[in-house]
């Protein structure tokens, strides 16, 4: 999907960086892209430094194509760019990477924002996945990400279709999906002390509402918001509502810090 923003390159890293202020760093999911966050970038670039790294989902060797491999990449990216006091946000697999990072190196993170995050439970694409060459199948699977199937534009479906029709990419998608399922974080979440915002779609089929509740129960300092008529990617499907909840959370953090 085309972006109204310039993609920057610094060494081996490709990323978006817009605005000034406290860093708001966002991580996309397995079939995600930087464009998933357009509605959020448009809003928060006026108050924050909004950063979206392009995660190397298909660039790492197979051995490191895992949640842990992506977290190492994120960690090096943060160090390389010198970001501090970060509000770290992740959707789906990106949320999982954010969780692992917060547990490994909480020092530079100020708050955590998860939306439709994996890490506890997720409905995979099913054992039959991926059917290469079957466009209708890919279309249906892309549409169930959203409450409103029209959010899955032809452009978005074509992107997914293209990925699963390259054998090596398909292997990496499977490796990442398996790594996410294998790396269950239930026992580790009690160690997260950062202020955490959970935003969940009430109609999320991939990480259903009970997953959001479970995160809320296990992460001590967390608050949970549900959005109706919304699936697995609230920041894409209902950006205005998402922005309102996120802005409220960030404002509250700042007023607490000021007291």
pLDDT, tens only, 110-119: 999 999 999 9
**Is residue 195 in a domain?**
yes
**Is residue 36 in a domain?**
yes
The pLDDT of residue 26 is: 98
Q: Which of these ranges, 29-33, 73-77, 124-128, 196-200, has the smallest mean pLDDT?
A: 124-128
Q: Place 10 in a pLDDT band, splitting at 50, 70 and 90.
A: very high
**Is residue 191 in a domain?**
yes
Q: How distant is the alpha carbon of residue 11 from its chain centre?
A: 23
Q: Which of these ranges, 121-125, 162-166, 167-171, 196-200, has the smallest mean pLDDT?
A: 121-125
Nearest of 74, 29, 22 to residue 45 by alpha carbon: 22
The pLDDT of residue 124 is: 64
The pLDDT of residue 127 is: 45
Count of the separate structural domains present in the chain: 1
User: How far is 19 from 25, CA to CA, in rounded Å?
Assistant: 12
Q: Is the dihedral of CA 56, 62, 66, 70 positive or negative?
A: negative
The pLDDT of residue 174 is: 87
**Is residue 167 in a domain?**
yes
Q: Is-contact 207 117, C-beta < 8 A?
A: yes
Q: Print the domain residue range for 147.
A: 8-258
User: How far is 224 from 201, CA to CA, in rounded Å?
Assistant: 11
Cα Dmax for the chain: 58
User: How far is 204 from 213, CA to CA, in rounded Å?
Assistant: 13
**Is residue 1 in a domain?**
no
- Could you tell me the CATH number of the domain that includes residue 221? 3.40.50.1820
**Is residue 2 in a domain?**
no
**C-alpha distances in Å from residue 47, one per residue of 12, 173, 235:** 28, 35, 18
Could you tell me the pTM of the whole model? 0.94
pLDDT at residue 244 above 90? yes
Q: Is-contact 200 231, C-beta < 8 A?
A: no
């Amino acid at each position: 999907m085309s972006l109204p923003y310039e993609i920057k390159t610094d060494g081996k890293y490709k990323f978006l960086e817009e605005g000034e202020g406290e860093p708001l760093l966002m991580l996309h999911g397995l079939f995600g892209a930087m464009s998933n966050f357009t509605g959020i970038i448009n809003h928060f670039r006026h108050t924050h430094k909004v950063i979206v790294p392009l995660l190397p989902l298909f660039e790492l060797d197979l051995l490191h194509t895992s949640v842990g491999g992506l977290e190492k990449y994120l960690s090096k990216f943060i160090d390389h760019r010198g970001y501090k006091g970060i509000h770290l946000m992740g959707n789906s697999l990106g949320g999982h990477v954010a969780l692992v990072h917060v547990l490994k190196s909480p020092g530079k993170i100020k708050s955590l924002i998860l939306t439709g995050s994996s890490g506890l439970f997720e409905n995979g694409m099913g054992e039959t996945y991926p059917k290469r060459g079957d466009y209708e199948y890919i279309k249906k699977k892309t549409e169930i990400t959203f409450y409103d199937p029209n959010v899955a534009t032809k452009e978005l479906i074509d992107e997914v279709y293209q990925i699963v029709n390259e054998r090596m990419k398909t292997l990496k998608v499977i490796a990442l999906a398996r790594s996410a399922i294998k790396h269950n974080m239930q026992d580790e979440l009690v160690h997260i002390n950062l202020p955490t915002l959970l935003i969940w779609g009430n109609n999320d089929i991939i990480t259903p509402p009970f997953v959001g509740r479970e995160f809320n129960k296990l992460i001590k300092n967390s608050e949970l918001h549900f959005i109706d008529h919304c699936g697995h990617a609230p920041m894409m499907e209902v950006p205005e509502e998402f922005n309102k909840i996120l802005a409220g959370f960030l404002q509250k953090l700042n007023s607490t810090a000021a007291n």
